[in-house]
A and B are shown apart, each in its own frame.
Chain A
């Protein structure tokens, strides 16, 4: 009953054919829009709302770590519920409208981060980036467009080599870019002026959850007194962490790291393949959002301003749960 196209988007997010927190969020919004357009169930409002909830649940279940995914889904659902639709047709239009609104918002946020972040890069800077972040790339490309001469190092980003997507985007934009192995990030640090990475989730204390390897790059940057920036749209800030929720770090399949035959031949070797790690706020010089540059410790400000209502809802729900199960 969920349209094939929507199921396919969910599969693509799960299998990482669609990857990067921003792209995942936009894909989820698009899936909601398609689901609303293709709804063929009963012409009863409650049936439609149950259907949309199911689609939302499917989308949110695909990847556990990136908060942009539930935030995108919540963005649409919250506005849907606030619009108090009376008919299926009203609800359908609301989902379509708010999904489109989110996608446009997300794209303009990345552009705005590019503009704001570009001021942080100076002519002649050498910059390192890790994995593949549209926001981080937007910053570098915008600074380059302003005529600043930059040299960029990009990590391969094992196990899935997302660094290759990054070097392609940067080279096509005309940047001087060098690919390095992840193991060389401390060695390269003395050549660098700045590090800029994206984020999957920003927690309430300003800790940044991002691609595995980010935290040791931040550590090496701190050691070498190199500025470390995170480019993150506000929908990557996690309201649930305010309530003490820990961000779950997704562990992915061993076959991303070694071959099936290696796994079969060496049953005693366990492959631990965490997709993300947590960079503590004290290693981050600033988080660049579309609303402005903040110190990581001010993440709560973003959460209170952007998700005040969600956070209140969460508190109300948590309190209700407590009362139900004291």
Chain B
């Protein structure tokens, strides 16, 4: 595994699913830790690498949450039991986290699939593993669905999701991003994944999501987002804004040669959907209104939320 490549793949959205992105990051962290031969090396390389991962994907609440937990474990083990034990503990922690995420995902998918009725036309954007799993489960339950997918530029990962849904044997309709409002009158439900959910219930997800949610709202089509609690960003309770990453400019069409140096290119990867356009956020603990997200957060982090910022934990590591 080449660690720099991992950072770049994450940064430019090369890994379509946000869950898969986090798994790749966690595997890279294990790899880095296993390569470190001394406490000094870990203290030097680990914080830098984790900060690079975070700045490659600053939007991902799941990434920040997972790295916080792994780092807390690492610090504790280094303090209490030394380097070799810490390495082992990190591997174990990542394993437990993945198991927890998968459990959360499975529960979320089960709740979500109950919301789908046979005969529904669903619209989805980008590439969400949870949306795909929900559709798979609904198909297993013999529900007949028709699924519309937007291409989802600048990366275009919607075409990949459309292909995978098509392979399930479902009638799948691929449209350009511009056609979302055009097809909305044929849609019963909008089902989307989540990059992060903020304290006020706002959803951070692939760019274009907020436009689709707005068009759904206009057409009175219900919008559901699949966001297990590990997608909730506790930092936003401390007033942090979610920073929106950009794709590499070369993901857009290339302006003509003659004006290439004059034309600027802006390829944002994410946008924010306000809570009033989301009918429900589906978590493993149940389906809630976006405005009820603080309630879910207090269950995990208490009230007021007790959560260490990742940076704080990394500083602790540097001080071991």
Contact = CB atoms under 8 A, between A and B. Distances in A.
Interface of A: 153, 155-159, 161, 163-164, 167-168, 171-172, 176-188, 211-213, 215-216, 219-220, 223, 257-258, 262, 265-274, 277
Which 8 interchain pairs have the tightest Cβ spacing? A213-B178, A183-B208, A268-B166, A171-B259, A216-B181, A269-B166, A171-B262, A178-B264
Contacts of A258: 159, 174
26 contacts: A158-B153, A161-B253, A164-B254, A168-B258, A178-B263, A179-B264, A179-B265, A180-B266, A182-B178, A182-B208, A183-B154, A183-B206, A184-B267, A186-B214, A211-B178, A216-B180, A216-B211, A257-B151, A257-B175, A269-B163, A269-B174, A270-B173, A271-B175, A272-B173, A272-B183, A277-B179
Contact of B176 (A212, A265, A266): A212
B84 interface: no
A266 B268 CA distance: 29
B207 interface: yes
A164 B169 CA distance: 37
Contacts of A219: 181, 214-215, 218
Interface in B169-206: 169-183, 206
Nearest to A277: B182
A220 B170 contact: no
B266 A157 contact: no
B182 A266 contact: no
User: In the complex, which range does the number of interface residues on chain B fall in?
Assistant: 35 or more
Contacts of A186: 208, 210-211, 214, 271
Contacts of B218: 219
Interface of B: 148, 150-154, 159, 162-163, 165-167, 169-183, 206-208, 210-211, 214-215, 218, 252-256, 258-259, 262-268, 271
Given A168-B258, A184-B268, A262-B159, A268 B169 contact: yes
B237 to A, nearest CB: 24
Given A163-B253, A180-B266, A183-B211, A266 B163 contact: yes
Given A167-B259, A181-B208, A219-B181, 12 more contacts: A156-B153, A161-B253, A164-B253, A179-B253, A179-B255, A183-B177, A211-B178, A257-B176, A262-B159, A269-B174, A272-B148, A277-B182
A271 B176 CA distance: 9
Contacts of A220: 211, 214
A237 B252 CA distance: 34
Contacts of A213: 176-179
B243 to A, nearest CB: 14
A28 to B, nearest CB: 26
Given A157-B178, A273-B175, A277-B181, A185 B211 contact: yes
Residue among A177, A182, A213 with max Cβ neighbours from chain B (10 Å): A182
A159 B253 contact: no
A212 B268 contact: no
Contacts of B167: 266, 268
Given A186-B211, A186-B271, A266 B166 contact: yes
Given A158-B177, A213-B177, A183 B256 contact: no
B178 A212 contact: yes
Q: Is the interface of B mostly helix, strand, loop or mixed?
A: mixed
B153 A181 contact: yes
A277 B178 CA distance: 9
Nearest to A267: B166
B268 to A, nearest CB: 5
A182 to B, nearest CB: 5
B264 A177 contact: yes
Contacts of A181: 153-154, 177, 207-208, 252, 267-268
B207 A183 contact: yes
Contact of A182 (B153, B165, B173): B153
A265 to B, nearest CB: 7
Given A179-B266, A220-B211, A172 B174 contact: no
B261 to A, nearest CB: 9
A115 to B, nearest CB: 25
Contacts of B259: 167-168, 171-172
Nearest to A159: B176
A187 B210 contact: yes
Given A164-B253, A186-B271, A220-B214, A171 B174 contact: no
A171 B257 CA distance: 12
Contacts of B152: 183
Given A158-B151, A262-B163, A212 B253 contact: no
Nearest to B182: A277
A214 to B, nearest CB: 8
Residue among A172, A216, A223, A273 with max Cβ neighbours from chain B (10 Å): A216
Nearest to A254: B174
Given A178-B265, A187-B268, A187-B271, A274 B179 contact: yes
Contacts of B159: 258, 262
Contacts of B172: 266, 268-270
Contacts of B174: 257-258, 269-272
Nearest to B262: A171
A187 B207 contact: yes
A269 B162 contact: yes
Contacts of A161: 253
Nearest to B261: A171
A182 B176 contact: yes
Contacts of B162: 266, 269
B252 A212 contact: no
Residue among B174, B208, B252, B259 with max Cβ neighbours from chain A (10 Å): B174
B177 to A, nearest CB: 4
A258 B173 CA distance: 12
Nearest to A249: B182
Given A177-B263, A187-B210, A164 B215 contact: no
Contacts of B214: 186, 216, 219-220, 223
